[in-house]
Amino acid sequence: MRRMLNETVRLQGSYRDDCAAIEALGMSRRTGMASAEADAREQASRAVEAAPELGAARSYGSILRAKFGSYEGVRIKHMPPGDLPSTLWEAVEQWKAIFSRVNDTAGKFQAEHKAWSAKVFKRASSCPQVPDAVWQDLDRLDLIHRAIPSLTQHWISERVSEVSASVDVLLQAEREKQRARQRELTDDLNKTISDVEVSLNLSGAGWSDPRWDSPSTVDEVQRLIRLGELVPELPEALSVLPIPALISFPFEAGLSVGADVGDREQAIDLVKSLLLRLFAAVPPGALHVKAVDPVALGQSVAGFRHLADYDGQLVDEKTWTTERDIERLMDDLSDHLEVVISKYLRGQFESIDDYNEHAGEVAQPYRLIAIFDYPTGFSTKAAKQLLSLIENGPRCGVYTVLQYNKEVERAKPYDDIEINRLIRSMQKVDFGHTLQPVREPFESAPRAKYSGTVVSSTSTHAVLSLPDGERGTIDLSELQALSPGRWPNGLSAGQKLTVEVTGGNQDGLLNLKPVILRAPPLVDPARGAVARLELGAPVGKVALYLRPDPPAPLVFDADGNPETGFARLLTRIGAAVREVQANPAAVTLDSLLPVFNRARVGILPDLDQARPALSTDPDSWWQGSTVNNAVAPIGRSGAQGVTSMYFSSTEVAGGAIMVGLPRSGKTTSLHSMILTLAMLYSPEELELYLIDAKHGVEFKVYENLPHARMVSIRSEREFSLAVLVGIEREIQRRAQLMKHHGTGIANITEYRATTGEKLARIVVIVDEFHELFEEADDIGLAAFAAFSNIVRMGPFSGAHVVVASQTLSNMPAMDRPTLTLLPQRVAFMCNEYDAEIVMGESNKATRLLTKTGEGLFNPSRGEESRNQPFQGLYVPTADRSAILRDLASKAAAFGWTRRPRVFDGDAAVSRPSPRMDPIVGGRFTIDIGEPFSLADTESIVLSRMQGSNLLLLGDNVDEESTDPAIRGALHSVLLAARQREVEVTLIDFLGEDPAEDDLRVAEIAQLTSARYLRSRAMEATLRDLRDAVNARQTAEEFGAPGRLLVLCGVQRALALTPFDPYDAAEDSSGPAIHLARILINGPEVGIHVVVAADRARSVEMRLGPELINELTLRIAGSSVGERDLLLVSGDYGDVPPLRYGQLLIGDRLKGTAKRVRGYRPLLRGDKRPSNSPARATQ
């Protein structure tokens, strides 16, 4: 690389020197030519001045001819003037001779004519005449006078040519010598380029290299990375081979790419090409990339996101875009530099490469931060940290590629760090340069050239005016031959041409020859060198023009399969990383369980020694007892050690805290703990409560786990609180149970030993538990109270809690002393604040955790002497699924049919079998959904009291985003009425076709035996129901069978107009008045109304604000607005926004508002309700 660049620079320098030498000779020639021209012009001028009247503006011949013609009786004649003189000097001598002769003749003729004129009698025949010879001399004088300018110019050109000819010999000799030297240097350079090209691996090869069609990964770092093609300042005639632009990796100080807005896309493309080649240059997994992209929001590296499908560390799944994000990233990288310097280098190694040569399997990957559109998004703090990163990062294996906006940089008022200081030590690519063509020097002296202007033109010739006022003519055939096709229609007046003078003609015009000034450019402009590349060590500082390679097409099909070789490289890297992660050296069940079975010291489970050793064979499972403890292997520690979490009824093993950043191994460890517990213990020995408090779905795979009592995914804080409260009540129940069997029983171990009864040990696992305590509101404070009691009292009753989180900060509802009561601590890669909480301020061992799955276990509240480093157990997804299937099959074989309660905060709930509880006091219960508690259902009650009517908000067939849970609430009403044989009349104002699988309102009415009507029957139906209400009131039939009026889509009930029902006369008529009487008086006599509409405003438009108060039971779906939620919740506190599948139930009489997970609506293909006496429908 160094040799190739040096030879390029040497050839460029030699060519510049040659051009300078030629230019010097050319200058000498031009100086001599100018001097010769001046001398010749002076000689010609003196010669013309020496000839009488030759330099006059008017020809002397014309003057005499006019004078002769003025004499009486003289007839003017014109005679052939003869040939044009061949030289200026011949013309001057002829002029002098003729001038003298005609003057003598003129004097004699004047005397003769005077004598003739004096006669008294004159005869015309005797009048003297001018001889023909004189007339011919006069025409000859005119010819010479006209030819003098062209003959003068011809004389000057001959003198100039004579002077330049002597210099041309020197020029030609110098050019031959230069060509020989340039050929030699070019041959050397081309040989070096060929040698370099042959030695390059994929990372240094051009995109056209066939190896890119099926790229392979490498086993060791490739040191040369291609950026594009160098464009030397040399003529193409030298035939220099394309020069690859290569930079050395690992970088000495990173790479900066500067561009204005117009070149921004090219600069970003260069960085993308560089990233791809860097991935090709290192072994799979040896490069981790983070991208700062505040303008494009990650689009700049979108093609590389496919790597994150294999390992999120290859290309960070997060794109850092905001100022806060960027500051946090700079903080993280600064911390990493500190760890590397203090942990790995420690003065023993000069760089991370030196360390990796000795590190073997624990070698550290390179880290690269790609920054786009700097300084956008960078605060002053982040810019200072970036400077430190650029200067100190390379030694620690952290490299920076900085693409910056030159225009923003120039406009930004920096008070601390300028861009030149930031990129001072970096290799630089600077866009926005224009490469000026370099022309070869002229090889021979040209004739004097002039810029002429076309005066007139015919099909064959054109007349041009020259700067000195002379005129000349050119042959258009010569012009067309010189530049074919350029002037298809000839020339027009005013056009400019460059010409040289070749002589004069008999018409007094100069003979002109057209000239096209040409010189071969340095490069073909189509090659377009657009950037300047400045390289530093180790190749030596050099600056050259660069034509960057275009970005390689990273193309994937809709299924994510690569369609180009470049995309295949990414998938092969990802596949290789996965293979490395899943190789036999990883801690798997197959490698862990044999070590676990051989263990004889440490925390051991109580196993049935007569059973086979624990393995992945289901026959070896469920041999443990939780009487004394429950043990969960989670990883290997050393060659023969196993790290296990354990839960007993002693204070020192009551529960655990686990912390780890994303992708650190925390969640994998939770999975491992759940699986090993489920394999060791049967469902009657162990119960699990699994809560993901951060709306995650990690625990969804356990929805059929026989040990699980509760599985919460995409959880809500209310439900997480309900689980803790439920566990707290179970602890209290167990405490009473132990107390009932004797005062000496202190814990579950003694209880089971004394009574012989099985009482399952409970383990509550809460992932991302900080979400529950991030607000010090009623929920957070209640959760803290329950959590505190579980931590303190739970272990004695056999209830243990494991809390895990990415971070332990920002939990105002949790106090640190309570959290630290949990004795067992597990830390994966985490920030310093979390490490201090988990391990204590003095235990800094967590800083050594740098790899995924690498953890630190401490069973004694972080006491440093009890630290136990381990590599976490990893159970691949397929193996985990197989184990869960085997667990379910084993449970079924043992008769365990219980399934866990699954709470999915983002999904509508499958409808359970309807309840058949009797109608009490004329009221009936409607199950709406699952509550955010441990109760099975959440219901509303239509009781026989004023206002007991129901409002449903959010069912809008005009909006695709309508949450089906609100339609499910309507179905719940109709199903409940059918089961309780409540007569239902349904008026459908919509009549719209639902989605493909949904039931139309008419269909659900038919299924539930409801009377189905359309809007035209509204007035008659309302009148009949009003009469029924009046009749029941008159007869005081408060226990009469219930009836239900359902108005579906009230927003389209155009016949309803609001009015004040309390001012209307009792005998007033009309649908609105009928409905008002039913709403006000109906509930007390068992006639209730359900109003379904899209928005609260629609209800007000149809019923008026007064009648809404008669709808005291209200339910809203997730698609409604804030005003609708307020109408439903009333003034009973802030209600969090509803998520999809959730309903808000408000009871204005009780003053309550609560969220539930609504039942999904009935769909085509669902099991139909059982038959019951059908009601006539219309």
Q: Quick check: helix, strand or coil at residue 345? A: helix
pLDDT at 1066: 61
Q: Is the separation of the CB atoms in 288 and 367 below 8 Å? A: yes
pLDDT at 645: 92
Ramachandran angles phi, psi of 320, nearest 5°: -85, 115
Is 897 marked as binding a ligand?
Answer: no
Q: Give the span between the Cα atoms of 594 and 584, in whole angstroms.
A: 14
pLDDT at 787: 92
pLDDT at 797: 92
Q: For 1037-1066, how does the pLDDT look when each residue is reduced to its tens digit (9 = 90+)?
A: 888 999 999 999 999 998 888 876 666 566
Q: Is the dihedral of CA 808, 811, 817, 822 positive or negative?
A: negative
pLDDT at 528: 47
Strand order of the β-sheet with 542-548 is 243-248, 224-231, 542-548, 531-535, 427-431, 255-259, 398-405, 366-374, 287-292
pLDDT at 454: 84
* Domains present along the chain, CATH in parentheses: 2-199 (no CATH), 210-436+527-576 (3.40.50.300), 449-515 (2.40.50.140), 589-904 (3.40.50.300), 924-1015+1045-1050+1084-1158 (3.40.50.300)
Residues 6+ apart with CB under 8 A from 981: 1041, 1172, 1173
Q: Which of 459-468, 925-934, 1021-1030 has the lowest mean pLDDT?
A: 459-468
On the 0-12 / 13-18 / 19+ scale of CB atoms within 10 A, 360 is exposed
Q: For 1001-1025, how does the pLDDT look when each residue is reduced to its tens digit (9 = 90+)?
A: 888 898 889 999 999 999 999 999 9
Is 872 marked as binding a ligand?
Answer: no
Q: What is the DSSP letter of 425?
A: T
Q: Is the separation of the CB atoms in 688 and 899 below 8 Å? A: no
Taking residues 707-730, report their average pLDDT: 89
pLDDT at 618: 93
The Cβ of residue 101 has, within 10 Å, a number of other Cβ atoms equal to 13
Is 664 marked as binding a ligand?
Answer: yes
Tell me the CA distances in angstroms from 187 to 180, 306, 520, 991, one per residue in order: 11, 45, 21, 86
Region for residue 528 given its phi and psi (left: phi exceeds 0; alpha: psi -120 to 50; beta: otherwise): left
Q: For 867-909, how does the pLDDT look when each residue is reduced to its tens digit (9 = 90+)?
A: 887 888 999 999 999 999 999 999 999 988 888 888 887 777 8
Q: Give the span between the Cα atoms of 914 and 907, in whole angstroms.
A: 20
pLDDT at 305: 86
Q: For 28-73, how does the pLDDT look when each residue is reduced to its tens digit (9 = 90+)?
A: 777 887 788 888 888 888 988 888 888 888 888 888 888 888 888 8
Residues in the chain: 1178
The pLDDT-based confidence of 654 (bands split at 50, 70, 90) is confident
Q: For 366-379, how does the pLDDT look when each residue is reduced to its tens digit (9 = 90+)?
A: 999 999 999 888 88
Is 605 marked as binding a ligand?
Answer: no
- Which amino acid, residue 749? T
Q: For 254-309, how does the pLDDT look when each residue is reduced to its tens digit (9 = 90+)?
A: 899 999 888 899 999 999 999 999 999 999 988 999 999 999 888 998 888 888 88
> Which has the closest alpha carbon to 947: 1061, 1060, 1079?
1079
Say what percent of the chain tops pLDDT 70. 87
The tokens of 353 are what?
A: 């490469």
Q: For 565-611, how does the pLDDT look when each residue is reduced to its tens digit (9 = 90+)?
A: 888 999 898 888 888 766 545 788 988 898 888 877 667 888 888 88
Q: Is the dihedral of CA 232, 233, 236, 237 positive or negative?
A: negative
Is 660 marked as binding a ligand?
Answer: yes
Residues 6+ apart with CB under 8 A from 181: 14, 18
Q: Is the separation of the CB atoms in 633 and 592 below 8 Å? A: yes
Ramachandran angles phi, psi of 523, nearest 5°: -135, 155
Is 662 marked as binding a ligand?
Answer: yes
The pLDDT-based confidence of 1175 (bands split at 50, 70, 90) is very low
pLDDT at 565: 87
Q: Give the span between the Cα atoms of 1005 and 983, in whole angstroms.
A: 12
The pLDDT-based confidence of 525 (bands split at 50, 70, 90) is very low
The tokens of 236 are what?
A: 């193409």
Q: Is the separation of the CB atoms in 634 and 872 below 8 Å? A: yes
Question: How high is the mean pLDDT of the chain?
Answer: 83
Q: Is the dihedral of CA 337, 343, 347, 349 positive or negative?
A: negative
Residues 6+ apart with CB under 8 A from 1175: 983, 984, 1009, 1010, 1011
The pLDDT-based confidence of 864 (bands split at 50, 70, 90) is confident
Question: Is the bond preceding residue 375 a cis peptide, omega within 30 degrees?
Answer: yes
The tokens of 152 are what?
A: 């003068």
pLDDT at 506: 47
Say what percent of the chain tops pLDDT 90. 27
Q: Please identify which residue in the block is written with the tokens 């969220």.
A: 1155
Q: For 1084-1140, how does the pLDDT look when each residue is reduced to its tens digit (9 = 90+)?
A: 999 999 999 999 999 999 988 888 999 999 999 988 888 888 889 886 556 677 888
The pLDDT-based confidence of 1170 (bands split at 50, 70, 90) is low
Q: Is the separation of the CB atoms in 322 and 377 below 8 Å? A: yes
Q: Give the span between the Cα atoms of 765 and 698, in whole angstroms.
A: 12
Q: For 75-108, how does the pLDDT look when each residue is reduced to its tens digit (9 = 90+)?
A: 888 889 888 888 888 888 989 898 889 888 888 8
Higher pLDDT, 483 or 236: 236
Q: Is the separation of the CB atoms in 509 and 167 below 8 Å? A: no
Q: For 433-455, how does the pLDDT look when each residue is reduced to its tens digit (9 = 90+)?
A: 776 655 555 443 344 566 788 88
Q: Which of 315-329, 381-395, 498-512, 973-987 has the lowest mean pLDDT?
A: 498-512
Residues 6+ apart with CB under 8 A from 82: 136, 140, 143
Q: Give the span between the Cα atoms of 351 and 396, in whole angstroms.
A: 6
